[in-house]
């Protein structure tokens, strides 16, 4: 009898929890559908500025500005730059696709790249929610350095707004359930000697991944988020070669287009921060990747 009551109690808890989660998802959907159009437009302009920012970085320009986004007509925007730039057509298409995919109201759009100094269109492409309707030409070409204006014309979302809003509202619920499942199922990585991966000993260096801090000779050195992710991958496999492609994928897979020089730059920064300990170094394995070398291991 006691076992039966216990089973009934667990079932009731399960049902109550399911209903509670359902209510949370419905509330999130309801709130998302009441968002103002002004907010959506502001968010879209941020994404368009991010497109300009990524193109400047790909053009090896990290100092000049992306000028304020200009709304030239309904659902039509211009991305303008302070200085001239060059770009690869593939990178432009991939960057725009990746970032505008974050806008739930953007489904179909046409991108025209205009040259400030001459009439006509320097490059153009169209993207549709139906991949077969995409129009992307002239891949693999690099456009010369010049003054460019990127014109983005969006197709009105129309009757899809409510549907997309509901889907957007359900994301917090899906994320919540996913978080619980990951916490319960995914095992936490450990080092061979059983150490917790958030506090890793590398010879005389203590690497606190959670707080992003290196301790060398009782001196604390702060790390950035990207430096921490990179060092953690290397530290979990000391004296083993980690492929360059794996590092790029695991560190930048959610950041859009990968700039090849980014990995080299962060490797250089980590080397400098590890310099106080001569027994630890990040070495290049030519044609393969990188290795965290511990001389005392």
CA distances from 287 to 14, 205, 244, 279 (A): 53, 28, 9, 24
The C-alpha atoms of residue 281 and residue 270 are separated, in whole angstroms, by 9
Q: Convert 188-205 to b/e letters by CB count within 10 Å (16 or more is b).
A: eeeeeeeeeeeebebeeb
**Domain locations in the chain as residue ranges:** 53-155, 199-294
Average pLDDT, the chain: 77
Q: For residue 189, what pLDDT is reported?
A: 42
- Please check whether residue 105 is in contact with residue 157, taking contact to mean a CB–CB distance below 8 angstroms: yes
* CATH number assigned to the domain covering 199-294: 1.10.10.10
Element (H, E) at 45: helix 37-58
Query: What is the per-residue pLDDT for 187?
Result: 42
Per residue in 200-259, pLDDT tens? 888 788 999 889 999 988 899 999 988 898 999 998 888 999 998 888 888 876 555 555
Tokens 């000697």: give the residue.
193
What is the SS3 assignment for 208?
Answer: strand
Which residue stretches of the chain have pLDDT < 70? 1-18, 20, 22-23, 25-37, 130-133, 157-197, 253-261, 296-297
Q: Which residues of 85-110 are buried (b: 16+ CB within 10 A; e: fewer)?
A: bebbbebbbebbbbbbeebbbbbbbb
61 near 83, Cβ under 8 Å? yes
């Amino acid at each position: 009898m006691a076992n039966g009551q216990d089973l009934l109690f667990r079932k009731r808890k399960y049902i109550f929890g399911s209903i509670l989660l359902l209510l949370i998802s419905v509330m999130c959907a309801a709130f998302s559908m009441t968002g103002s159009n002004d907010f959506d437009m502001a968010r879209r302009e941020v994404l368009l500025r991010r497109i300009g920012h990524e193109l400047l970085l790909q053009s090896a320009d990290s100092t000049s500005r992306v000028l304020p986004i200009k709304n030239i007509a309904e659902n039509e925007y211009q991305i303008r730059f302070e200085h001239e730039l060059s770009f690869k057509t593939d990178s432009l298409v991939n960057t725009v696709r990746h970032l505008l995919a974050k806008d739930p109201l953007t489904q179909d759009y046409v991108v025209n790249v205009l040259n400030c100094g001459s009439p006509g269109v320097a490059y153009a492409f169209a993207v549709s929610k139906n991949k077969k309707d995409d129009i992307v030409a002239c891949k693999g070409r690099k456009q010369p350095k010049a003054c460019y204006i990127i014109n983005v014309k969006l197709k009105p979302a129309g009757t899809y707004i409510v549907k997309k809003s509901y889907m957007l509202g359900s994301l917090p619920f899906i994320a919540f359930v996913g978080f619980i499942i990951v916490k319960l199922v995914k095992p936490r990585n450990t080092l061979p000697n059983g150490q917790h991966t958030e506090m890793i000993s590398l010879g005389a260096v203590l690497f606190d991944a959670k707080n992003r801090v290196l301790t060398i000779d009782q001196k604390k050195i702060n790390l950035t988020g990207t430096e921490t992710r990179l060092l953690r991958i290397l530290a979990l496999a000391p004296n083993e070669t980690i492929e360059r492609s794996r590092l790029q994928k695991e560190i930048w897979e959610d950041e859009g287009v990968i700039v090849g020089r980014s990995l080299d730059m962060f490797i250089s920064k980590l080397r400098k921060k590890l310099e106080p300990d001569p027994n630890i170094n990040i070495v290049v394995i030519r044609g393969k990747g990188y290795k965290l070398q511990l001389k005392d291991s």
